[in-house]
């Protein structure tokens, strides 16, 4: 059974992430979307909130499971017997960081390969940070996040 992991902060999940989930799920027997901690980012949503949003968004997509983990990705992959890490790649600026992570993860777990799926054109400049910035000031985020969680994100982040 080929198990892949799609890790990220998902703070919150965007349409760009959702697109990668749907595309990656078609390539493996199981795709585990895992909310992890990125030490260089200050999260706005708790891990439980992020997991809950991802579960609502991915409900009904076959072969997708949502989980969270606060340790090393390479260790989690070992525990889950996963052979592949899936990452979405946007503009060239993502590349260096992602390449570095892929090499570090393979050093920590030699059985782990990373594959990159290119983000669709319309999502090249979409990020969770942009969603949060716009939502804080009450701007339009409907094209940025899945409809089922749009209202919750807007209400949760809007500066009152």
Residues annotated as catalytic (active site), given as ranges: 17, 41, 90, 128
CB atoms inside a 10 Å sphere around CB 102: 17
Q: Is 88 in the site for ligand PNS (CB under 6 A)?
A: no
77-99 in b/e form (b: 16+ CB < 10 A) is: beebebbbbbbbbbeeebeeebe
Chosen residue from 4, 5, 6, 7 binding ligand PNS by CB under 6 A: 7
CB of 47 to ligand PNS, least distance (A): 11
Question: What's the gap between Cα 34 and its chain centre?
Answer: 7
Nearer to ligand PNS by Cβ, of 77 and 135: the residue is 77
Taking CA 86 as the corner, what is the angle to CA 85 and CA 91, rounded to the nearest 5 degrees?
A: 130
Cα 154 off chain centre by: 19
Among 20, 73, 82, 153, which residue sits at the site for ligand PNS (rule: CB under 6 A)? 73
Stretch that binds ligand PNS, among 34-42, 52-60, 140-148, 150-158 (CB under 6 A): 34-42
Residues at the interface with ligand PNS (CB under 6 A): 7-9, 36-38, 41, 72-73, 101, 104-105
């Amino acid at each position: 059974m080929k198990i892949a992991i799609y890790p990220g902060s998902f703070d919150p999940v965007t349409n760009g992430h959702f697109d990668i989930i749907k595309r990656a799920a078609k390539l493996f027997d199981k795709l585990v979307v895992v909310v992890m901690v990125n030490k260089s980012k200050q999260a706005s949503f708790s891990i439980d909130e992020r997991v809950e949003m991802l579960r609502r968004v991915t409900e009904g997509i076959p072969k997708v499971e949502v989980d969270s983990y606060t340790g090393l990705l390479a260790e989690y992959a070992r525990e889950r017997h996963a052979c592949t890490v899936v990452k979405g790649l946007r503009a060239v600026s993502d590349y260096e960081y992602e390449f570095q992570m892929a090499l570090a993860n393979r050093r920590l777990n030699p059985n782990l390969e990373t594959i990159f799926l290119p983000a669709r054109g319309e999502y090249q400049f979409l990020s969770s940070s942009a969603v949060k910035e716009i939502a804080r000031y009450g701007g339009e985020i409907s094209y940025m996040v899945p409809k089922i969680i749009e209202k919750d994100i807007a209400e949760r982040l809007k500066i009152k």
